[in-house]
Structure 1
Amino acid sequence: MSMDVQALAVIRQMVADLAGRPVEEIQPGDRLLEDLDLDSLQITELAQKIENTVGRPVDEDLLNAEGTTVADCVEIATA
């Protein structure tokens, strides 16, 4: 199963904006909490941005779990 390249680009941009980093620094394997230092408020904001983009609820707990990566966010958004 291949990852949706367009969805990855959108999610990487969202995460980059929240992390205050250039999008080029955001890689699919980066972990939201551990590598990018996002806090729970930023995770909530990410969940809302994804919800607004895909038009359906996203389980924020999945995004806020230890080890959740940018690639996992794409899988959650496109599931």
Structure 2
Amino acid sequence: MSTHTSTLALVQRLVAVIAERPEADILPADRLVEDLNLDSLQITELAQKLESETGKSIDEDLLNADGTTVARCADITDAA
């Protein structure tokens, strides 16, 4: 499993917990705000959980940008 694939799986798992949805329902193309209805506090929580899990500093402004997808969150995490 590549690093990006495992990062994407991590993001999907964390988003599922925060959005209170089954992990199987969280798709890479889902947008955090527009599709999953996450608010800014939930996105901050996602950034904190990603930082805790990966030890990387995550820019939550990037996660909060319009149209940010689950896959983009994995990209941001990998690039951090």
TM-score, normalized by length of structure 1? Answer: 0.93
Count of equivalent residues: 78
CA distance in structure 1 between the partners assigned to 2:67 and 2:3 by the alignment: 18
Could you tell me which residue of structure 2 aligns to residue 14 of structure 1? 14
Name the aligned partner's letter for residue 76 of structure 2. Answer: I
Unaligned runs of 5+ in 1: none
> Per-residue deviation at 1:56?
2.1
The DSSP-based 3-state class of the residue aligned with 1:47 is: helix
> Per-residue deviation at 1:7?
1.1
CA distance in structure 2 between the partners assigned to 1:73 and 1:24 by the alignment: 17
CA distance in structure 2 between the partners assigned to 1:68 and 1:3 by the alignment: 20
CA distance in structure 2 between the partners assigned to 1:56 and 1:22 by the alignment: 26
CA distance in structure 1 between the partners assigned to 2:55 and 2:14 by the alignment: 16
Runs of 4+ with deviation above 2 angstroms: none
CA distance in structure 1 between the partners assigned to 2:75 and 2:53 by the alignment: 14
Percent identity over the alignment is 58
Unaligned runs of 5+ in 2: none
Could you tell me which residue of structure 2 aligns to residue 29 of structure 1? 29
TM-score, normalized by length of structure 2? Answer: 0.92
Could you tell me which residue of structure 1 aligns to residue 49 of structure 2? 49
Could you tell me which residue of structure 1 aligns to residue 70 of structure 2? 70
Give the root-mean-square deviation of aligned CA atoms: 1.3
CA distance in structure 2 between the partners assigned to 1:78 and 1:45 by the alignment: 18
Name the aligned partner's letter for residue 16 of structure 2. Answer: A
